Amino acid sequence: MRDAYIIGAGQTLFGAMPDESYRSLFTQAFETAKNNVPAGIDNKDVDEAVVGSLGVGGRQLGLSGPAATEHAGLHGIPSSRIENACAASGYAVRQAVQAVKSGMADIAIGGGVELMTDLSADVTKYWLGVSGETEWERLTGTTFSGVYAQMASAYLNAYDATTEHLSMVAVKNHANGAQNPKAHLGFECSVADAANAPTVADPLTLYHCCPTSDGAAVAIVAGEDVVAEYTDDPIRVAGVGAASERVGLFERDSYTAISSSETAAQQAYRQAGVGPKELDFAEVHDCFAIAELLAYEDLGFCGRGKASHLLDNGVTDPDGDLPVNTSGGLKSKGHPIGATGAGQITEAFKQLSGEAGDRQVTEPRYGLTHNVGGSGGSAVVHVLEREVAR
Active-site annotation, residues: 86, 335
By the rule CB under 8 A, 98 interacts with a second copy: yes
In the complex with a second copy, the residue whose CB is nearer, 167 or 260, is 260
Query: Computed over its alpha carbons, how large is the radius of gyration of the chain?
Result: 19
Contact yes or no for 261/297 (Cβ under 8 A): no
Residue among 75, 270, 277, 304 that touches a second copy (CB under 8 A): 75
Contact yes or no for 169/349 (Cβ under 8 A): no
Number of residues that bind a second copy (CB under 8 A): 60
By the rule CB under 8 A, 365 interacts with a second copy: no
- One-letter identity of residue 162: T
Residue among 127, 136, 193, 314 that touches a second copy (CB under 8 A): 127
* Spatial distance between the Cα atoms of 226 and 213, rounded to a whole number of angstroms: 35
By the rule CB under 8 A, 80 interacts with a second copy: yes
How do 48-52 and 107-114 pair as beta strands? parallel
By the rule CB under 8 A, 163 interacts with a second copy: no
* Spatial distance between the Cα atoms of 324 and 293, rounded to a whole number of angstroms: 11
Contact yes or no for 178/184 (Cβ under 8 A): no
Between the two ends of the chain, the Cα-to-Cα distance in Å is 27
In the complex with a second copy, the residue whose CB is nearer, 59 or 306, is 59
* Spatial distance between the Cα atoms of 156 and 331, rounded to a whole number of angstroms: 20
By the rule CB under 8 A, 260 interacts with a second copy: yes
By the rule CB under 8 A, 130 interacts with a second copy: yes
Tell me which H or E stretch contains 98: helix 88-101
Residue among 46, 82, 291, 330 that touches a second copy (CB under 8 A): 82
Stretch that binds a second copy, among 58-66, 148-156, 198-206, 226-234 (CB under 8 A): 58-66
By the rule CB under 8 A, 55 interacts with a second copy: yes
Residue 268 sits at the vertex; the CA angle it makes with 329 and 292, to the nearest 5 degrees, is 25
In the complex with a second copy, the residue whose CB is nearer, 95 or 332, is 95
Stretch that binds a second copy, among 100-108, 150-158, 290-298, 347-355 (CB under 8 A): 100-108
Residue among 36, 84, 89, 205 that touches a second copy (CB under 8 A): 84
In the complex with a second copy, the residue whose CB is nearer, 101 or 350, is 101
CA 129 to chain centroid, in Å, comes to: 19
CB of 126 to a second copy, least distance (A): 9
